[in-house]
Structure formats: C-alpha cells, structure tokens
Amino acid sequence: MATVVQVENLRKEFGNVRALDGVSFRVDAGEWIAIMGPSGSGKTTLINILGGLDTPTSGQAAVDGTDVARLDEAGLTRFRAEKIGFIFQQFHLVPYLTAVENVMLAQYFHSTTDEKEAQQSLERVGLGDRIEHLPAQLSGGEQQRVAVARALINHPKLILADEPTGNLDEANEDIVLSLLRELHTEGHTILMVTHAPSIGHLADRRIEFAHGRLVQAAATSLKPELA
C-alpha cells in the first residue's frame, strides 16, 4: 500500500521548548490514525507541520511524496490547497459566508468554484437544507459538518482533524464520528488528534505522544521508527 505520510526524525523547537523531539512514523493510504497524548505533548504541532501551517526545525515530514520542510511560502500555499483537508476543533468557518460559500472558499483557493458540487458536498454531510445559512444560524454540530464538507471538497490526499469533536455534544459527536468512519471506509487517509480514548479506539492505529516524543503505538501494523 502506498505511503501517504512519512515522518523522519522530526524536530520542532519554539525557543528553548522542544515541541517535537525526533519523531518518526509512517502512514499508509487509507489509514485512520489517532494521535493522542496530554496537552503540550506536540500533537497539534505535528498536525500543523504535516498540514504545511508550520515548518519543522529539522527532519523530514513528507505528505504524498512532498517534503513540507523543503517548501517555500508559495509552495506551502499550493500544498495546503491541493493535498490537505483541515477539520478544526473550533470549526473555523468564515462568519459572513453561508455554508455553501464556506465550502466554495476552499474551491476558490484550490482552482475554480463549482456551486453545485459544493451543494452536493453539503448534502452528503446532511446539510442539504442548510446551504444558505450563515455559521451563526447553525448548531455546533452543523458547523463542524460544514467544515467536513469543506475539507473534502478538493479531494485531499490527507485529512487532518484536530480534536474534531472537542466542542460538540454527544449527539453531534456521534454524527461527526460516523462521517469520519464513512470517509475512512471510502479510503480517505485521516490523521486525527484526540484526547478521548473512546474516539481513539475508532481509528486503525493510535500514536501516543508525551513531551514531544512518540511513546506508544497501539496497533500491530504501526511501524514506529524511533530515532
């Protein structure tokens, strides 16, 4: 199976603080990985580097064969548009754009917009009747589903979900998790940060972090390459 994520001896320092300390692992296409660990263990830093939102201090972080450490600003911009789909804990929708426009915004930065496709993407996450609603008119769960539709619209190689259910009640958590399960079934590669062990167990594998180091892998298929 093709490797989508290849991380080798990845380090990230913020001044004297070492957020990632020699992390290495690999993710194959179609895998659903849960990244777990306490606050400040480096989970979000890893997601940000893999998503091209941050750059490593040293080491390699390759997504679909592209080492993000070697990309300049323009290269990172294209990388984010073409290869990554983000789902954030805080949803991060543009408040003055409707649901469909929020999805189309990702299309706009990727290439060209297709409103019909954006509507279909929203219908797929069960929001066919909410396409013209502003984020303020949607519940938290609905906003997160818009974010899922937006993450999928450009057919990314990797979906990065940072605590995707962290701000949701139980009912909406179930809806979003079932959506992630569907995406996994369809063959999407997902890297999901979560605190909750119950959610982590839904993934194929779990990678646990502590103090910027990968400390535990919870599935036999995991091949940690600790530095």
Residue ranges that bind other proteins, judged by CB under 8 A: 44, 48, 51, 53-54, 74, 77-82, 84, 86, 88, 90, 92, 94-98, 101, 104-110, 113, 150, 154
Least distance (Å) from other proteins to the CB of residue 78?
Answer: 7
Least distance (Å) from other proteins to the CB of residue 102?
Answer: 9
Whether the Cβ atoms of residue 108 and residue 100 lie closer than 8 Å to each other? no
Nearer Cβ to other proteins, position 17 or 74? 74
Nearer Cβ to other proteins, position 74 or 171? 74
Helix orientation angle between 170-185 and 140-152, rounded to the nearest 10 degrees: 20
Query: 54-79 burial, b if ≥16 CB within 10 A, otherwise e?
Result: bbbeebebbbbebebbebeeeebeeb
Least distance (Å) from other proteins to the CB of residue 104?
Answer: 6
Least distance (Å) from other proteins to the CB of residue 193?
Answer: 12
Nearer Cβ to other proteins, position 14 or 178? 14
Backbone dihedral angles phi then psi of residue 208, each to the nearest 5 degrees: -105, 135
How far is the C-alpha of 51 from the C-alpha of 158, rounded, in Å?
Answer: 9
E strands, 64-155, are: 66-67, 84-87
Residue labelled with tokens 């940072």: 162
Nearer Cβ to other proteins, position 16 or 112? 112
The closest of 164, 168, 215 to 193, measured between CA atoms, is 164
Whether the Cβ atoms of residue 224 and residue 53 lie closer than 8 Å to each other? no
Nearer Cβ to other proteins, position 104 or 179? 104
Least distance (Å) from other proteins to the CB of residue 130?
Answer: 17
